[in-house]
Copies of this chain bind each other. A is one copy, B any other.
């Protein structure tokens, strides 16, 4: 497949890391940034994440593929607008953490076949263009949603972008299932971690003690609490229904632990912790 001209809309952690990956693999011959935040635009250029930053109206004539990597609340406004302006053969994809709102916004769009809904399952707790890292996606999983709603040509190109351009392994699912699974596996982890940080900061007024006593275990559990509040409040918003379901289950699990402790049933608590150990077996499959 010949190399492509790619427009990155939103050059932050994810958009910037995609740019780096596509440049390193030679999959993209040219990278054009479309960025609403002037400071981010300047930073992205100085880091050479993209070759140029242009307004969408100019970029539209220059690129084969747009990758929309804005926060999820912006995606639903931008994608229909981009799609309206696409010429035949051009493709737009988005890489957000929730899928159903975009599915709903685009399901009746006349150019729906030129859009591909995707989610590269990788990230860090940092944000902005300076958070972009080399090789972020290599060996990780990329999700393509609602494959049958995109044209076979668009799917083939985007499969190549993920496999050949970023080194990812692809899996396929419906948007609605994606949002259920990511609530369970990704979004609730962020809730846990943010809430743990809030709790410890509230209870432990002695900052020096946190610093002194924090072990690698605490740092690991609280790592995601360093993530962008803007990004994650929007993800929680867009996936509220699924997240409520799993948050209730999480709170119930904590209340169950509490009940077992208060009644002195530590053998039963030990059994629960033993069941939790099973997550290690599943994660270590790979």
The verdict on A190 contacting chain B, using a C-beta distance below 8 Å, is: yes
- In the complex formed, the residue of B with least CB distance to A221 is B189
Candidates B218, B251, B267, B276; contact of A225 at CB < 8 Å? B276
Asked if A184 and B196 make an inter-chain contact with CB atoms under 8 angstroms apart, the answer reads no
Asked if B223 and A220 make an inter-chain contact with CB atoms under 8 angstroms apart, the answer reads yes
Query: How big is the A interface, by class?
Result: 35 or more
With A182-B213, A185-B210 as given contacts, are A219 and B283 in contact (CB-CB < 8 Å)?
A: yes
Chain-B contact segment, one of A13-21, A39-47, A107-115, A197-205: A197-205
In angstroms, Cα B184 to Cα A58, docked, is 54
**Chain A 190-229 interface mask (CB, 8 Å, partner B; 1/0):** 1111111111111110110111111111111111111101
Asked if B283 and A211 make an inter-chain contact with CB atoms under 8 angstroms apart, the answer reads yes
**Chain A 250-286 interface mask (CB, 8 Å, partner B; 1/0):** 1101110110011000110111111111111011011
Number of identical monomers bound together in the oligomeric complex: 2
With A215-B123, A221-B221 as given contacts, are A192 and B192 in contact (CB-CB < 8 Å)?
A: yes
The verdict on A181 contacting chain B, using a C-beta distance below 8 Å, is: yes
Asked if B254 and A218 make an inter-chain contact with CB atoms under 8 angstroms apart, the answer reads no
Asked if B236 and A247 make an inter-chain contact with CB atoms under 8 angstroms apart, the answer reads no
Asked if B123 and A210 make an inter-chain contact with CB atoms under 8 angstroms apart, the answer reads no
Secondary structure dominating the interface of A? helix
The verdict on A140 contacting chain B, using a C-beta distance below 8 Å, is: yes
Chain B residues within 8 Å of A271, by CB:
229
Candidates B181, B192, B206; contact of A204 at CB < 8 Å? B181
With A193-B221, A247-B257, A247-B258 as given contacts, are A233 and B203 in contact (CB-CB < 8 Å)?
A: no
The verdict on A62 contacting chain B, using a C-beta distance below 8 Å, is: no
The verdict on A171 contacting chain B, using a C-beta distance below 8 Å, is: yes
Candidates B206, B248, B282; contact of A207 at CB < 8 Å? B282
Question: What are 10 inter-chain pairs, A to B, with CB distance below 8 A?
Answer: A123-B215, A184-B199, A185-B213, A194-B273, A197-B278, A197-B279, A202-B249, A203-B245, A225-B280, A251-B251
